[in-house]
Amino acid sequence: MDIVTDRKNKAAIENLRIDGERLWDSLMELARIGATPKGGVCRLTLTDLDRQGRDLVCKWARDAGMTVTIDKIGNGFMRRAGRNNALAPIVTGSHIDTQPTGGKFDGNYGVLAGIEVVRTLNDHGVETEAPLEVAFWTNEEGSRFVPVMMGSGVFAKAFTLEHAYAATDTEGRSVKEELARIGYVGTEEPGAHPIGTYFETHIEQGPVLEDNDKTIGVVTGVLGIKWYDCTVTGMEAHAGPTPMALRKDALQVATKLMQEVVAIAHRHPPHGRGTVGMVQVHPNSRNVIPGRVKFSIDLRNATDALVDRMDADIRAAVERASKESGLAISIELVSHYPAQPFHPECVQAVARAAEKLGYSNMPAGSGAGRHAGAGRSRLAPDPGSRTRARRRAPRAE
Ligand SMILES: [Zn+2]
């Protein structure tokens, strides 16, 4: 292809606009499968409803001239051929399973937006250089089977296919049985599928965009995470007879540390996060001074270096609190997920497009480690959002 035609083609693509109404109609039609009375969706992974959802999405893909490949963990890849099919495809997608009280847009928007892009290219007869694919990943939500982000996890070799197959729901039914039952065990080896570049459009799963009055969040990466268990050991004693000066109150010391977790996050803006979400007080009795308190700590930030600084801060705080109180305090790192910056060219592509189309936007970190990919949009009132770009698929919760 000569340069002139190439330029023309580029201009033609830049002037394309998707059909928003058609996308909306597809979103509403898919949301009818598993619709809940309050306007949400309950379509748990690998249920009959999930099969109906998958069947509908695959039908839409085939109607748009795409071929559908299912891999052994039930991930779907819907492909539109390019001019050079030896190139690895440009992939977009998300998930269509939902939480028990899920919304219409979480995940579904990312998959159907991809199909709408293909429909738009078809309408205008645009041929792309590399093939395009729209992916849906099995059990991203993890409400029925653990681990969460299962399909993308197997694809990215975070764990094995056998491990995923063996997972069971509360009624003892396994992923393998349920995949077979709904007819979505494919033949392709997970991960065998090449991916050139991956973008994911997702509704925001936090309040930041609304708070900043922006439409698009250009996600620059997934935050690094460290999880800890912290245990403060004091001495149980009766609340009445024990004078204040003679107490070893584990909860009083623990609450100071909990405040410190939040303070540390505030000292490392803008992406620092500090959360205590789980507390166990022993013996948990109204008139007994707590003898032992165990609580969780979740620290996050945009780079591993920043997470390490927060790590040093919490350890120093533990040491200080132990010295001051005379109580034994242990802090144990239980999980660590490194920060994952997305490829800068992909991030810039999302920012450029938002700018060009006149959508207000801002850089954003993905606080949740979810799904496969850079960007958010505040399109829809739902509990989640992201548009992400990266070279390969998924990561950690
Ligand atoms: Zn989602």
3-state secondary structure 198-251: EEEEEECCCCHHHHHCCCEEEEEEECEEEEEEEEEECECEECCCCCHHHCECHH
Distance of CA 385 from the midpoint of ligand 1 (Å): 8
* Helix-helix angle 304-325:250-266, to 10 degrees: 150
State the number of CA atoms in the 13 A half-sphere of 258 facing the CB: 17
Distance CA 98, CA 40 (A): 10
Q: What is the pTM of this model?
A: 0.79
Distance CA 79, CA 131 (A): 7
Distance of CA 55 from the midpoint of ligand 1 (Å): 19
Distance of CA 255 from the midpoint of ligand 1 (Å): 33
261: helix, strand or coil = helix
Distance of CA 234 from the midpoint of ligand 1 (Å): 42
CB neighbourhood size of 182 (10 A): 19
CB neighbourhood size of 326 (10 A): 9
Contact 145, 167 (CB under 8 A): yes
Whole-number pLDDT of residue 132: 98
Distance of CA 205 from the midpoint of ligand 1 (Å): 8
Which tokens belong to 66? 């795409």
Whole-number pLDDT of residue 367: 66
Distance of CA 377 from the midpoint of ligand 1 (Å): 13
DSSP string over 21-45:
HHHHHHHHHHHTTTB-TTS-B---T
Whole-number pLDDT of residue 7: 62
Contact 129, 17 (CB under 8 A): no
Q: CA of 369: how far to CAs of 58, 149, 306, in Å?
A: 27, 9, 17
Residue of 128, 152, 142 lying closest to 1 (CA atoms): 128
Distance of CA 279 from the midpoint of ligand 1 (Å): 27
Contact 296, 277 (CB under 8 A): yes
Alpha-carbon torsion (94, 95, 100, 103), positive or negative:
positive
Q: Which residue has the tokens 């001074």?
A: 289
- Helix, strand, coil share (%) of the chain residues, nearest 5: 35, 25, 40
CB neighbourhood size of 48 (10 A): 13
Q: In tens digits, what is the pLDDT along the chain, a chain of 397 residues?
A: 444 456 666 667 778 899 999 999 999 999 999 999 999 999 999 999 999 999 999 999 999 999 999 999 999 999 999 999 999 999 999 999 999 999 999 999 999 999 999 999 999 999 999 999 999 999 998 889 988 899 999 999 999 999 999 999 999 999 999 999 999 999 999 999 999 999 999 998 788 899 999 999 999 998 999 999 999 999 999 999 999 999 999 999 999 999 999 999 999 998 899 999 999 999 999 999 999 999 999 999 999 999 999 999 999 999 999 999 999 999 999 989 899 989 999 999 999 999 999 999 999 877 665 554 434 444 333 333 334 333 333 333 3
Distance CA 21, CA 18 (A): 9
Distance of CA 266 from the midpoint of ligand 1 (Å): 27
What amino acid is encoded at 393 in this protein? A
Distance CA 14, CA 357 (A): 9
Q: Return the bridge partners of 221, or none.
A: 341, 365
Distance CA 333, CA 297 (A): 9
Distance CA 370, CA 390 (A): 13
Distance of CA 65 from the midpoint of ligand 1 (Å): 26
State the number of CA atoms in the 13 A half-sphere of 224 facing the CB: 15
Whole-number pLDDT of residue 390: 34
Distance of CA 236 from the midpoint of ligand 1 (Å): 44
Distance of CA 317 from the midpoint of ligand 1 (Å): 35
State the number of CA atoms in the 13 A half-sphere of 312 facing the CB: 7
Distance CA 93, CA 116 (A): 11
Distance of CA 176 from the midpoint of ligand 1 (Å): 23
Distance of CA 106 from the midpoint of ligand 1 (Å): 4
Distance of CA 6 from the midpoint of ligand 1 (Å): 36
